[in-house]
Amino acid sequence: MQPLLLLMAFLLSPKAEAGEIIGCHEAEPYSRPYMAYVRYTSSKNKYCGGFLVHEDFVLTAAHCLGRALKMATTRLTLQSVDHGYITIPVLCLQLEDKATLNDAVRIIGLPGRRDKIKPGMVCSVAGWGRLGVNTPGPAKLHEVELEIQRDEECTSRFIYYNKEFQICVGDPTKIQSSFKGDSGGPFVCGQKAQGIVSFGKNTGKPPRVYTRIKYFVPWIKRTMKRFNLQRPH
């Protein structure tokens, strides 16, 4: 078996909770064709978000792994029976077959070296995570717009926060946040995934910490190239 492809979120707090969306609304059909629903097993069945960054690679969070992984790509995964979904077997988050790109399945771009995001910018997160601390996750994809905060908002709350590799996201005065179930999903600014849902307080209260993708792009590209070279022909 190949080594696990760690196209995943880094610097996760081992004691932090991760992932749901609070204060959100249902996403429009086909609006996020890069979204992936990642189901895995450990002590019990769990799931995370993820996103298609290449025809045969999905990026997700580091803790979204287990003895078994099953990925269904596109935001239609649990949208509704009418919209259906596409299921693709995975090999440690490297798809066994390349996804067929169309209106329902698309790659999202990664940030370039000169791309900048700053406090005050409003970007978006989507996922199938819980809608509240005690509210189960929905059957349909939900999304929310969240504002990037000053690093000080997170350094004062999280001893694990590193401003070089992480982004502080979510206005602490609003009831809008990512939380359980959305870990691994993309933080989208414009047309690019700038961050990955990572961790925060177990109450779901913002701000929360996202991995800053920009500094890992060279490593992501090298890793995809290496695994493609190892793929049987």
Q: Best-predicted range by mean pLDDT among 21-30, 58-67, 88-97, 151-160?
A: 151-160
65 occurs within a structural domain: yes
The sign of the CA dihedral 113, 118, 121, 125 is: positive
Of the candidate ranges 87-91, 160-164, 188-192, the one whose mean pLDDT is the lowest: 87-91
Q: Is residue 182, in this structure, part of any structural domain at all?
A: yes
pLDDT digits (tens, 9 = 90+) for 108-164: 999 998 899 999 999 999 988 766 666 656 567 889 999 999 999 999 999 989 999
Within-domain flag for 17:
no
Percent of the chain topping pLDDT 90: 38
Name the DSSP letter for residue 55: T
Token look-up 């996922």 returns 127
pLDDT at 146: 96
Rounded to the nearest integer, the mean pLDDT of the chain is 77
Higher pLDDT among residues 231 and 135, named by residue: 231
Domain count, the chain: 1
Residue 158's pLDDT is what? 93
- Under the banding of pLDDT at 50, 70 and 90, the label for residue 44 is low
CA distance 185 to 26: 16
Range of the domain at 159: 25-230
Paired residues of 17 in beta bridges: 200
Residue type for position 7: L
Residue 10 lies in a domain: no
CATH number at residue 222: 2.40.10.10
Confidence of residue 12 (pLDDT cuts 50, 70, 90): very low
Residue 6 located in a structural domain = no
CB 64, CB 20: distance < 8 Å: no
What value does the mean pLDDT take over residues 50-61? 91
pTM score of the predicted model: 0.80
Nearest to 21 by CA among 146, 120, 105, 191: 146
**Per-residue tokens: 39:** 């189901």
